[in-house]
Amino acid sequence: MQSSDEFFEDLNVAVKATDCVENDFFAAVRSQQLSVDDVQKFADQYYLYIRTFPKILAGLSHRVDNEEIRKELAKTVVSELGGGGEGGMGHYKMFENACAPLGINIAEAGTIEYLPETTALVEGIRTLFLEGSIEAALGGHYTIELSGLPMIKSLYEGFRPLPGSDVESLEYFYLHLLIEREHVEWIHAAVEQATGGQEARDEIRRGALHIAELLGNFWGALHREIVQQPVAA
């Protein structure tokens, strides 16, 4: 069986080869192709994902028997809700603040019609974390955190030049540029606790690649609907 380092190295390669780490939507955002109207469409879809994730992750933490794993998951839950020395503001609220100076009023989560890929992502995370094997759920969480920093870097480059954005409003991005590596370290420690046998490792990889596919589909749908903007028949 592979060593722990070899297992994570292979897992990282597999996840980074998917569209959840680099994709056409990220490239378009970095090249500043999105208008404020485009950002409104993006924000409404993205908000459902970031608004529901902490609650789902807390549910996974509740299911875990291993206290060391639960501790690592709890660190991310607390961080997402604004604890851990981050000023007490939930990350979803920081994202609202990044959008507000642009004149963007994000739809409350669950109140609009979402793209099928948005719904599939959120429901896929919920099902995996709350009903799937613990190992697969940990793998899915690992993918979310591993892809977080590339995502934030791209979104920051898109928001930064928009009229109304300033140092204060961009706090959401500055914070995540600093803490995403910690989030990866925490879930890495949690996953490492669950890598005892080959069956567990297979489940971790399955969960990681399942969420990678859902995330890739989500970003692909945003590129299709916002960047490509198909002309109605």
Alpha helices by DSSP H, listed for 132-170, are 134-146, 148-159
Asked whether residue 116 is assigned to any structural domain, the reply reads: yes
In a domain, 233, yes or no: no
Helix (H, G, I), strand (E, B) or coil at 7: helix
Mean pLDDT of the chain: 93
Answer yes or no: is 232 within a domain.
no
CA distance linking residue 42 with residue 34, whole number of Å:
9
Q: Tell whether 198 is covered by a domain.
A: yes
| Cα–Cα distances in angstroms (integers) from residue 116 to residues 107, 130, 135, 221, in the given order | 17, 21, 27, 9
The CATH number given to whatever domain includes residue 102 is: 1.20.910.10
Question: Which pLDDT tens digit goes with each residue over 198-208?
Answer: 999 999 999 99
Number of domains the chain contains: 1
- The answer to whether residue 52 sits within a structural domain is yes
Nearest to 71 by CA among 185, 164, 228: 185
With tokens 């609202």, the residue in question is: 96
- Residue 158 belongs to a domain: yes
Q: What is the pLDDT of residues 38-91, one digit of tens each?
A: 999 999 999 999 999 999 999 999 999 999 999 999 999 998 888 765 556 789
Q: Give dist(CA 6, CA 160) in Å, integer.
A: 38
**Cα distance between residue 23 and residue 151, in whole Å:** 10
User: Is 191 contained in some domain?
Assistant: yes
Parent domain of 77: 4-227
Whether 73 is in a domain gets the answer yes
Q: How confident is the model at residue 114 (pLDDT cuts 50, 70, 90)?
A: very high
